[in-house]
Chains A and B, each alone.
Chain A
Amino acid sequence: MISGPNRLIRIGFALLLGLVLAACGAKQVVVQGNFPPPLMEKTPLTLGVVYTESFKTHEIYDEAAGREETDWLVKTGSAQVEFWDTLFTGMFTEVVHIDSHDALHAVEDEVDAVIIPYVEDLQYTIPLHTNVKVYEIWMKYRFRLVTMDAIHDHGNGELTYNPNQSLADWTLSAYGKTPTAFLQSDEEAVNLAAVVALRDAGANFATSFHRVPAVAEWLDTRNTITELPAPVTASVEESSTSEESSTSEESSTSEESSTVDESTADDEGTTST
């Protein structure tokens, strides 16, 4: 039987060991935030949404380069899904999730188009050389808008789409910075920067969706035009959007079909510090 003081010493030692080990481990952040719905007139569309597995579980792992640094694991997947769900629901009259072949067949006749978002790139800066906890995050998204006919299932639960049936394919960038440097842990600071970046991505998407040339053209053919005020920084964003957007005809991909999880977009986040 262990006597009282010995037991306390053992517990103390275990706690100390735990603290030492914890200090050696990676810092982990599961991004969480409250995302407001957009205040705008809904576009009269029934939009199907496919969140790929890599989008739903998106995370970045940054291995420490030196002894002074720490490994970082930032999981943005669940926050991405929550955020884009809120945004799409506020922007379109109806939003339908397509996550399986059953769901695909159930909504085949109702959906006007299907949107597939990808996180193409994610970079962040760590304030290594300052004591100020201000982190910055850049995200680059790729959106593919395809017709329902373009989505197929091969009976094994895997959804694929034909890139030649894309209505539009465009990229969009977002930026977020920790809004305040005071009284925050590193994890809170990274979380806040990610939330700000998500909000910025939403603002960019909401104000530019109707102005993506291929989307505008498609909406025009459907007589679904919604006038939106241009964002103040439109000149920069607009040019990058139009430069990088392409219609299915302009698409350089030669694949016959590609799975939604194995798109030409590199959905794995990369980091730089």
Chain B
Amino acid sequence: MTIAGSHGVVWLAGQARWGLTVAALMLLGLLQGCVTATVDEMTFLEPTEGIGDSSVVILGRRHAPDYETEFDFIECIGDHIRRGDNSITVLHELEFINMMYPWFEPRTAPLGPQDIDRLMAQEPVANQFSNIKLEYMIWIDGSTIETNSSGSMTCGVGPGGAGCFGFGTWGNASEYEATIWDFTDQTEVGRISTNTSGQSYMPAVVVPIPIIAPVQGTACDSLGDQLLQYLSATR
């Protein structure tokens, strides 16, 4: 009985140590790198009573040779607006592009609101726009890039286990600009831009602990908030 009891105490002490380790890891996991964000807004002709049963589409610019606005970033902004005001119908980007093929491919997409007229001259295109009741077309141009990285980390595996040791750090920067077109009036009604940057860290003592700066996520929230404020009737 005594022997069994001492085993139990050792087992409990081991469990507590593991518990503390896990808690410490979780706490560190919750830590995030710092992000700096700047938002500039210039909008006019805001819809005072919301957009009603009309719809909005958010599209990424992808005609530049050296970068493309990420599909997941566009989806993130759409989700942000839907979550903020579920009365706003935000069309899914890829569905819209497929529905309108080939008029919104990188080589054919309109670059200015004046190009809408040329699209509307095509009867099937005009009918499709009428079916989806599009009120605003929002173009997002920009991307997130890695600006710097340094540090080193060594990982190894042995008979007793595996582990890493070292430190790594890297920076990210986002630059996005949203251009809002009023589809009915075929005019540009606003521009919102956001610049975010942050530094991520990854110290490793046996286990690597990533402390990630949510640079793109912050850019999405900043831009999403401003667009929501513009489109929503409940602001």
Same complex: yes
Interface residues of A in 230-244 (CB under 8 A from B): 230-233, 237
Quick check: is B235 within 8 A (CB to CB) of the other chain?
no
Is residue A77 within 8 Å, beta carbon to beta carbon, of the partner chain? no
Q: Does A186 contact B (CB under 8 A)?
A: no
Asked if B123 contacts A232 (CB within 8 A), the reply is: no
Verify if A108 is at the interface (C-beta below 8 Å from B).
no
CB closest residue in chain A, given B62: A179
Return the contact of A202 from the options B70, B102, B118 (Cβ within 8 A): B102
User: What residues on A are CB-neighbors of B122 within 8 Å?
Assistant: 39-41, 228-229
Docked complex Cα distance between A31 and B98 (Å): 19
User: Using a Cβ–Cβ cut-off of 8 Å, how many residues does chain A contribute to the interface with B?
Assistant: 26
Q: A39-B125, A180-B72, A203-B108 are in contact. Are A233 and B102 (CB under 8 A)?
A: no
Please measure, in the bound complex, the distance between the C-alpha atom of A36 and the C-alpha atom of B118, giving whole angstroms.
21
B121 near A229 (CB under 8 angstroms)? yes
A39 close to B105 (CB less than 8 A):
no
Chain A 198-239 interface 0/1 with B at a Cβ cutoff of 8 Å (1 = within)? 011011101100000000000000000001111111000100
B3-11, B37-45, B109-117 - the one binding chain A:
B109-117
Docked complex Cα distance between A50 and B143 (Å): 43
On whether the beta carbons of B63 and A233 are closer than 8 Å, the reply is yes
Is A177 on the interface with B (CB-CB < 8 A)?
Answer: yes
Nearest-CB residue, chain B, relative to A233? B107
How far is it, in angstroms, between the C-alpha of A203 and the C-alpha of B102 when the chains are bound? 5
Select one of A39, A40, A179 contacting B99, CB under 8 A.
A39
A204 in contact with B107 given A180-B72, A199-B101 (CB within 8 Å): yes
Tell me whether A269 is interfacial, beta carbon within 8 Å. no
Interface centre among A204, A227, A228, A232 (most CB of B within 10 A): A232
B22 CB within 8 Å of chain A:
no
Within 8 A of B (CB), among A78-128: none
Say yes or no for B36: interface residue by CB 8 A criterion. Answer: no
Interchain CB contact under 8 A, A36 and B71: no
Is B100 an interface residue, CB under 8 A from the partner?
yes
* CB under 8 Å from chain A, chain B span 49-80: 62-63, 68, 70-72
Interface residues of B (CB under 8 A from A): 62-63, 68, 70-72, 98-103, 105-111, 115, 118-119, 121-125, 128
Q: Mind listing 25 A-B residue pairs with CB under 8 Å? A: A39-B100, A39-B101, A39-B103, A39-B122, A40-B122, A41-B122, A177-B68, A179-B71, A180-B71, A182-B72, A200-B105, A200-B107, A203-B101, A203-B102, A203-B105, A204-B107, A207-B108, A228-B122, A229-B122, A230-B118, A231-B108, A232-B107, A232-B109, A232-B110, A233-B107
